[in-house]
Amino acid sequence: MLRDFAVPEATVQPVTGTAVAHSLRYRRALWDSATVDALLRHLTGHGRRAVEGLGDDSLMRAWESTVEEFLDPASEPRRRLDPMWSQACALSPAGLQAGVQAVLGGVRGRPLRQLLSQAGRAEDDSLISVILAANLPALAVQPLLPALAARRPVLLKSPSSEPFFAATFVTRLAEREPRLGEAVAALTWRGGDARLERPVMAASGRVLAYGEAETMARLRRSLADRLVAYGPKISLAVIDDGEPERIAEGLARDVALFDQRGCLSVHAVLTTRDAEALAQALARQLSALAESWPPGPAAPAQMAAVQQLRADAALRGLCMPRLPIRAGSVVVETDRGLEPSPGLRTVRIHPIASLEQAPNLLMPWRNRLQGVALSARRLETIEPFLRRLGVSRVAPPGELQSADALWHNGGAHPLDVVGAPRAGARHPSAIGE
């Protein structure tokens, strides 16, 4: 039976009960402050020493083998996890697999080796706590890997709507390398339980949190500079070159992956090319992707927002290729203002006369843009500007969402985030690794 927690074997184990999520039963930990205190003592004492003595090779072997296992939908943990996981992430099974491949595919092989080779031991070896979000499957690996590379103990707080991946991953990691099992815990609790949250906050040298702006502001007030906030951002595409059908194929992937819920999901397109032709091609590709990566369940509230957008486009006589609402929506927008998509694979295409017009349109989004899918011959016209805007990733259409372990999420090197000194002179660029 799945569990919503994974804690070191040698610490006090929580009392558990049986619970039901998405019609499936699982074992749920019932945390109390004494058990959480014991866990925190273990992680920051025995756990910290255990991970300190771990060599790169041992860490890499255990990590890579665990990642490979979770990439395989036929593996034992995936067969147990998937029925719950796809529902908790509101993704179709095929959409989940595509998302898992995008996330886990980036934390193995060359980027993994490179990250480990760059990582020095952190002087500050205190606990890192990570507050995870539910919109992306397997998100836990992104902060976990650099924290372990820095040899710091880690507490992963899963969202209560999806507590299973992190717990299952940590369990399998610990089975391969028990020293990691001593230093990492994954657990969840309903937000607001001060008995549990206060000691976790107090014991953490750094808290990495994924959340909305208000949440980040609130956490900032209590954590000050101990907080690393992954606040809300969106991504878009700038298309100045390329064969339309090929570009559209890539854009459709960047839109549809994670059902447009990631911060690297494309919401809007600026193009100097034939916007209506691109819209038609993108609609065809989204239609095809709706077959291979069927969308997950859509909430009526989200459909309502998309219906508003569609009905408004109809009233204004905008170009809007026919697509079932669940497959996506593509609108050629005459309004120059960029807006976030309401979701459900909805994209607005904004025609521009030349690349030189892009900066003015993008400027209001300074520090709120995470990535740009870029197809342009004259990269020098736009790339430096994107850096100044705070864009952390630029990639060709179709590759934007496949960030790897070296990605500077939010503009910061992953090792800097966990306080690890970086060995070696060659640091990857903040843009387009």
Partner 1 sequence: MVEQRVREFIRRPDDAEFNDLALAAFRWQCERSPKLRSLAMRRGHSPGELRDWREIPLVPTRSFKTTQLHTSPPQVIFRSSGTTQPRRSVHPHGHLDLYREVIEQTFPSACLPAAPPVPMLSLIPSTEALPDSSLAFMIDHVLRRFGTEWSAVAIGARGVEFARARSWMGKAQRHGQAVVVLATGLALKQLLDVLQRRDLRFRLPRGSVLFETGGTKGRVEQISRQELLAMVHEHLALSAEHVIREYGMTELTSHFYTAALRGGDPDLFIPPPWTRVRVLDAESLQPLTAGKEGLLAIFDLANLSSTVHLLSEDLGVLEDNGFRLTGRAEGAALRGCSLAAEEFAQLSPSEP
Given the rule CB under 8 A, which residues bind partner 1? 131-136, 139, 157, 159-162, 190-194, 197-198, 201, 209-216, 218-219, 221-222, 230-234, 260-263, 265, 298-305, 307-309, 311-312, 314-317, 325-326, 335, 339-343, 368, 409
71 SS3 class: helix
Closer of 298 and 376 to partner 1 (Cβ)? 298
Least distance to partner 1, CB of residue 337, Å? 8
* Spatial CB neighbours of 96, under 8 Å, sequence gap ≥ 6: 82, 85, 86, 89, 137
Q: Choose between 51 and 236: whose C-beta lies nearer to partner 1.
A: 236
Q: How is residue 165 written in tokens?
A: 């991946």
340 — phi, psi (to 5°)? -65, 150
Closest approach of partner 1 to the CB of residue 30, in Å: 18
Three-state secondary structure string covering 121-183? CCCCCCEEEEECCCCCCCCCHHHHHHHHHCCCCEEEECCCCCCHHHHHHHHHHHHHCHHHHHH
CA dist., res. 333 & res. 337, Å (int): 9
Sorted by sequence, the CB contacts under 8 Å of residue 379 that are 6+ apart come out as none
| Distance separating alpha carbons of residues 172 and 265, to the nearest angstrom | 30
Question: Shortest approach of partner 1 to residue 76 CB, angstroms?
Answer: 27
Nearest residue (CB) to partner 1, 298 versus 379: 298
- Which run of H or of E encompasses 384? helix 379-389
Q: Which is nearer to partner 1, 169 or 230 (CB)?
A: 230
Least distance from partner 1 to the Cβ atom of residue 306, Å: 8
Measured from the CB atom, is 60 or 185 closer to partner 1? Answer: 185
Q: How far apart are CA 205 and CA 225, in angstroms?
A: 10
Least separation in angstroms between CB 378 and partner 1: 29
Nearer to partner 1, 304 or 423 (CB): 304
**Cα–Cα distance measured from residue 175 to residue 297, given in angstroms and rounded to the nearest whole number:** 35
What's the min distance (Å) between Cβ of 121 and partner 1?
28
DSSP structural state of residue 408: -
Number of other residues whose CB lies within 10 A of the CB of residue 335: 10
CB 44 within 8 A of CB 207: no
Please, are residues 168 and 75 in contact by the beta-carbon 8 Å criterion?
no
Q: Which is nearer to partner 1, 280 or 341 (CB)?
A: 341
- Compare residues 226 and 246 and give the one whose CB is closer to partner 1: 226
Shortest Cβ distance from residue 245 to partner 1 (Å)? Answer: 27
Q: How far is the CB of 338 from partner 1 (least distance, A)?
A: 11
Do residues 128 and 418 lie in contact, with contact meaning Cβ atoms separated by under 8 Å?
yes
Smallest separation (angstroms) from partner 1 to the CB of 397: 19
The residue among 214 and 243 lying less far from partner 1, judged by its C-beta, is: 214
* Residue among 227, 303, 300, 232 at smallest CA distance from 261: 232
Q: Which residue has the tokens 């890579």?
A: 64
